A = this chain, B = another copy of it.
């Protein structure tokens, strides 16, 4: 764990961006969100916990939303990457399970929910979030689904984007309302909406 304590004064790197400060900010933001909730996630609190000056945060991130985005992009790639290499129907199913587990069991899932929330409150956030997170992921999800349709493994009644909304929507909705997401639900959604070739 990257120590962000303040007694051992970090020595920084002069003219160049200080990687230790960058990480300290990301971790502080993440920790604060999980431990104390979005209300406690102020720039001042992040700076305080990271042992960093406010100006250092403002220098590199326009707002706390972008900090969260940075952590989310990293965490999402780590915890539920979109299967990209000749994905099969089972890869798609597995991806949906991973997504559900990320939202309900992973502390980082809270970041995704918080960003969706913040996007409702702020049009700028909505745009940034769409551009830097939802859009790129959707592109890869669409490619995944399209491939599995192309092989004949899946044959949904909806076009790929609508099908993805129909799959992701319910999972996310249950997460947003604090409900559990059983693997059965995911499986039934998958079977009903994507109509997989019987095995």
Contact = CB atoms under 8 A, between A and B. Distances in A.
Contact of A121 (B117, B158, B173, B174): B117
B185 A158 contact: yes
| Secondary structure type dominating chain A contacts | helix
A176 B120 CA distance: 7
Interface in A49-103: none
A120 B121 contact: no
Contact of A174 (B117, B169, B177, B179): B169
B173 A169 contact: yes
A132 to B, nearest CB: 13
Interface stretch (A19-27, A122-130, A146-154): A122-130
Contacts of A189: 166
A121 B162 contact: no
Contact of A122 (B39, B158, B171, B174): B39
Contacts of A157: 188, 191-192
B39 A178 contact: no
Interface in A178-199: 178-179, 185, 188-189, 191-193
Contacts of A188: 157-158, 162
Given A39-B121, A117-B121, A165-B174, 10 more contacts: A37-B121, A38-B121, A39-B122, A117-B120, A157-B191, A158-B185, A165-B170, A165-B179, A169-B170, A192-B192
